[in-house]
Amino acid sequence: MSQIANYIKESYTELITKVTWPSWKELQESSVLVFVSSLLIAGAVFVMDWTFGVNASDSVWKGVVGNLYDLF
């Protein structure tokens, strides 16, 4: 039991003295970066889905490529 208490005490000390926490401004900047990156990736996936269509056979939308194949 003393080993567990020692582990918790050392973990707390390490979190307080050795870990560098970001400032509020750095945290905000990182959050904005993650948000914008997520939007860009979601947009890229949307464009790929719209271009190539859905793979379901009962789908109405075949995608741009699927519609081009139907023309020829």
- Look up the pTM and report it: 0.60
> DSSP state, 58?
T
Q: Does residue 62 or residue 25 have the better pLDDT?
A: 25
**Domain residue limits, the chain:** 22-71
Give the rounded distance of the alpha carbon of 63 from its chain centre: 25
Angle at 19 between CA 37 and CA 17, to 5 degrees: 160
Specify the pLDDT at position 59: 64
Give the amino acid at 15. Answer: L
Structure tokens at 72: 């020829």
Give residue-wise pLDDT tens across range 5-35: 999 999 999 999 998 889 999 999 999 999 9
Specify the pLDDT at position 57: 60
Phi-psi region of 63 (alpha: psi -120 to 50; beta: other; left: phi over 0): left
Give residue-wise pLDDT tens across range 32-51: 999 999 999 999 988 888 88
Give the rounded distance of the alpha carbon of 9 from its chain centre: 34
